[in-house]
Amino acid sequence: MRKGVMRPGHIQIRVLDVEEALKHYRDLIGLIEVERDSQGRVYLKGWTEVDKFSVVLREADEPGMDFVGYKVLDNQVLERLHAELIGYGCNVEEIPAGELNGCGRRIRFDSPTGHMFEIYAEKEQTGKWGVGNVNPEAWPRGLKGMKATRFDHCLLYGPNIKGTLDLFRDVLGFELAEQVLDPEGTRIAQFLTVGMKAHDVAFIEHPEPGKFHHASFILDTWEDVLRAADLISMEDVSLDIGPTRHGLTHGKTIYFFDPSGNRSEVFCDGDYHYPDHEPVTWQAEQLGKAIFYHDRVLNDRFLTVLT
Amino acid sequence: MPDQSSHQIRVINRNQSFECAEDQVLLVGMERHSAAAISVGCRGGGCGVCKIRILAGEYETKRMSKAHISEAEQQRGYALACRVFPRTDLEIESDHYRAPESSYQQAAVTLSAVKQ
């Protein structure tokens, strides 16, 4: 049952060098650089996103993900979910408005998989970049690189994904859209949604808590995914795998690494989910095909390389 | 005559060696020679998969994830091969990364056992 969480709102990614990272997220993926704050963090967004930012880069000693934030309908929902998260037993922290430039009060909480998440109700809306909201043109001129349209989801690794599913489903109103089950029926991967998308966040069972597999950005077409692959070669960027198609979600995709080793995905298309849909299941015996539908073999690097 | 700015990298534990230019990191040098002496991960100093120990020779490093190379380790010659530029010929030892076993890997082992 939906609980008033609308959509993914932002992700803060740790990088070893902010200037190198900008070449990746701004010049290659094509996000719009919005601004920098007094801590030196850089804010970016995809051009179709109406909120001020969706990606924050923070320079640090250890690459990975600091937190992912989800936007809720309004402050009433924020208050109700704040209380429910405390009642559920999460470690909950209030982050004052303005700690991220242009973002309202955030409620931060931890998960059994060892990741930090946030919900918030307010963020400055600067509108789509380069096009208006009345009689808008199809796309703005001046986009760079892969011309990613928005931040879409992330995949996280950690222990006890069942615990995190319970939290996301029972407290936050996410639904299980797709899953991988082993022969004993244990879930080893789960794709959760708060809307019609095949995933707004995904988890894979893994012994180390708090690990980051990738942040994903959406492109319009398969031709754009191919063109992204061309750019990866032209710029001699570290390629992981692709272009190819997933069995899970059926998205068309390519994976590559930022200069600090955080994995990025750009993709297009894929399955959809309505609240009355049963979860789609892939059997672990078909794991190779579930992950890479064409190769149909397990790729060790894709499964094990994390930040 | 060998190129002055290129150095011989000997990977002791794998009994292999490859040439690496001064402006190239070891991992890229290795991949350009289609060698497989060091495991390849993210190539960005983040994942730890290409962790090596440098036993002899001089080198410079770019910033590496502290999660995989602590300062103490760095002083003892540990490094990520994707962040190491050679300044002389080097003797190194690869395979220092210890991966935690994930359910996916366990599933892969189960799967290959079933197939056999």
Domain count along chain B: 1
Q: What is the mean pLDDT of residues A139-146?
A: 97
**Residue B103 domain-assigned?**
no
Tell me, what's the ipTM? 0.91
Is the pLDDT reported for residue B108 higher than 60? no
**Residue A153 falls in the annotated catalytic set:** yes
> What is the per-residue pLDDT for B86?
98
pTM score, whole prediction: 0.94
**Residue A214 falls in the annotated catalytic set:** yes
**Residue A272 falls in the annotated catalytic set:** no
A207-245: burial string, b at 16+ Cβ within 10 Å, e else: eebbbbbbbbbbbeeeebbebbbebbeeeebbebebbbb
A115, A206, A214, A273: the active-site residue: A214
8 Å CB contact of B102 and A304:
yes
Indicate the pairing of strand A187-193 with strand A175-181.
Answer: antiparallel
Is the pLDDT reported for residue B3 higher than 80? no
Q: In the A/B pair of chains, how many CB contacts fall below 8 A?
A: 104
**Residue A199 falls in the annotated catalytic set:** yes
Best of B47, B105, B106 to substitute, by most chain A Cβ atoms within 10 angstroms, is B47
Q: Contact B40/A238 with Cβ under 8 angstroms?
A: no
Query: Which tens digit of pLDDT belongs to each residue from A83-140?
Result: 999 999 999 999 999 999 999 999 999 999 999 999 999 999 999 999 999 999 999 9
Q: What structural domains does chain A harbor?
A: 5-120 (3.10.180.10), 150-304 (3.10.180.10)
For A205, the closest of B64, B82, B102 (CB atoms) is B102
> What is the per-residue pLDDT for B115?
47
Domain that holds residue B28: 6-93
A10, A24, A115, A153: the active-site residue: A153
Indicate the pairing of strand B51-56 with strand B78-80.
Answer: antiparallel
Q: What is the mean pLDDT of residues A3-12?
A: 98
What distances in angstroms separate CA A120 from CA A39, A199, A265, B62, B72, one per listed residue? 21, 20, 25, 37, 40
Query: Which tens digit of pLDDT belongs to each residue from A178-230?
Result: 999 999 999 999 999 999 999 999 999 999 999 999 999 999 999 999 999 99
Sorting pLDDT into bands at 50, 70 and 90, what band is B2? Answer: low
Is the pLDDT reported for residue B116 higher than 70? no
Q: Which residue of B has its CA nearest to A15?
A: B46
> What is the per-residue pLDDT for B102?
62
> What is the per-residue pLDDT for A164?
98
Cβ-Cβ contacts under 8 Å, A257 against chain B:
42-44, 46
A199, A206, A213, A273: the active-site residue: A199
**Residue B44 domain-assigned?**
yes
3-state DSSP helix/strand/coil % of chain B, to nearest 5: 25, 25, 45
Per the prediction, chain A carries an average pLDDT of 97
**Residue B26 domain-assigned?**
yes
> What is the per-residue pLDDT for A212?
98
Sorting pLDDT into bands at 50, 70 and 90, what band is A7? Answer: very high
pLDDT > 90: what percent of chain B? Answer: 77
Cβ-Cβ contacts under 8 Å, A307 against chain B:
42, 46-47, 65
Q: Contact A35/A112 with Cβ under 8 angstroms?
A: no
Domain of residue B55, CATH code: 3.10.20.30
